[in-house]
Amino acid sequence: MFNRLPEYPWESLKPFAAKAAEYPGGKVDLSVGSPVDPTPQVIQDALDSASNSPGYPSTAGSLEFRQAVVDWFAARRGVAGLDVSQVMPTIGSKELISWLPLLMGLGPGDVVVQPTVAYTAYVVGAALCGAEIISEDDPNLWPANTKLVWLNSPGNPDGRVLSKAELRAAVIRGRELGALVASDECYAELGWGDWEGKTTPCILDPEVSGASTDGVLAVYSLSKQSNMAGYRAAFAAGSASLIKGLVNLRMHSGLNTPEPAQKAMIAALGDHSHVAAQKAIYRARREELLSAVRAYGFEVAASEAGLYLWATLGEDCWKTVERMAELGIVVVPGAFYVLGDSQYVRFSITATDADIAEGARRLREAIDFTK
C-alpha cells in the first residue's frame, strides 16, 4: 500500500534549495505556489464571527454557502441556472482531486486521463486506487476504458487556457465513453493578456456542456485568488446526482468542511474587490519576473493565466534547476509534471515583492555570463 506512490517530488529539490541558500544574500524560492500576502480583512472578519461553531458541519455544505457558490458561478463564470443541489464544499481542491477516483470506485483495468503537462495530484489519485494513468490531450485518443478525464484550465504548471471549443470536444468524447470529465479551474480569475478583465472558460458553461451538466464536474479553490490556502477553502459543482453520491461517501468518511471556513468562503465569493486587488499585485510581480526571465534567455510557453511562468533554455530541466540554484534561485523541474523527460522549469510569482525583485536582479546580472 505505502509503495503505491513515490517519494513526494519536492524532496528531490532539497539539495538544490541548499545550494541556492549558499548564494550571497540567501536563496530566492520561486518554486512554491503558496500565497504570501495577507488574507483579506473581509474574510478574516467572517471567520472571526463564525468562531462559535460547536456543532458538526454539514458535509453537503450549508444552504447559505451553496447559494453563494451558485451566485458566484452566475456572476463570475458565465454559468447561470445552477441549483444548490449541484454544489458541495471540499477541504481544499487537492483533497477531492486525489480521492475522486477512489470515491468513484475505480481500480485496476480503469483509465484516468490527465493533460500531457499536468498537476501532480492526478497521478496520485490514479495510483491510490490502482487505475492506469494516461497523459493525452486529444480526446480522440482516449481509450474505451477511460472512466475519468482531468482537464486543467488554466493549467498548472504551464498556464495554458482551453477554449470553449476544446472543452466542448472533451465533454462530447467523455459522454461517448461514459467517463466523468472533471475540470480543475482554480486559476480562472488570474488571466493575463487576452484574458485580462474576464475569467477563463468554464466546463459548466452551457456553450460547453449543453443543456445538461451530466458527466461533468468543475473543481475550484479560493486558495490563490483570495489568499485562503490555510483555510482549505474549495468546492465542486456538477450534476445533482453526482454531487449527491459524492456527499454521501464523504459523509461516511467524515470529509466535511468546518462551518467557519464555509462562512469565510461566503464572504470571499461575495466580494470581488479583493480579488482584483490581489490580481494587480500578481500582475506587477509577473511583469517584473517575466521580463528578467526572457532577458536571461528563456523561452516562455503558454503562461497566459495562473501564477507561473513555464520556461525553457532548451536543455534538460534538471540542468536548468542547477543553473538557477547557482544564482541562488529555486525553481521546479518540468519533470514533476510530465510522464517522461522535460526541458521546462516552472517559476512561481507567488513570492514576495522583495524576492521577485531580487530574483529578477540576479537573472539580469547573470546575463553577461551566459553569452
pLDDT per residue, tens digit, the chain (371 aa), is 556 676 777 789 999 999 999 999 999 999 999 999 999 999 999 999 999 999 999 999 999 999 999 999 999 999 999 999 999 999 999 999 999 999 999 999 999 999 999 999 999 999 999 999 999 999 999 999 999 999 999 999 999 999 999 999 999 999 999 999 999 999 999 999 999 988 999 999 999 999 999 999 999 999 999 999 999 999 999 999 999 999 999 999 999 999 999 999 999 999 999 999 999 999 999 999 999 999 999 999 999 999 999 999 999 999 999 999 999 999 999 999 998 899 999 999 999 999 999 999 999 999 865 54
The three three-digit cell numbers of residue 105, written as one number = 470506485
- Check if the beta carbon of residue 151 is closer than 8 Å to that of residue 161: no
- Check if the beta carbon of residue 132 is closer than 8 Å to that of residue 110: yes
Give, for 127, the enclosing helix (H) or strand (E). helix 121-129
Task: Count how many Cα atoms sit within 13 Å of the Cα of residue 120 in the half-sphere of its side chain.
Answer: 12
- Check if the beta carbon of residue 255 is closer than 8 Å to that of residue 95: yes
Give Cβ neighbours of residue 197 (< 8 Å, ≥ 6 apart).
Answer: none
* CATH 3.40.640.10 domain position(s) in the chain: 41-271
User: What's the confidence (pLDDT) of residue 232?
Assistant: 95
Domain 41-271: assigned CATH number: 3.40.640.10
* CATH 3.90.1150.10 domain position(s) in the chain: 9-38+274-370
The three three-digit cell numbers of residue 35, written as one number = 500565497
For 162, phi then psi, to 5°, come to -85, 135
The DSSP 8-state label assigned to residue 117 in this structure reads S
CATH 3.40.930.10, applies to 9-38+274-370: no
CA distances from residue 9 to 133, 140, 297, 320, 341 in whole angstroms, order as listed: 17, 31, 27, 17, 14
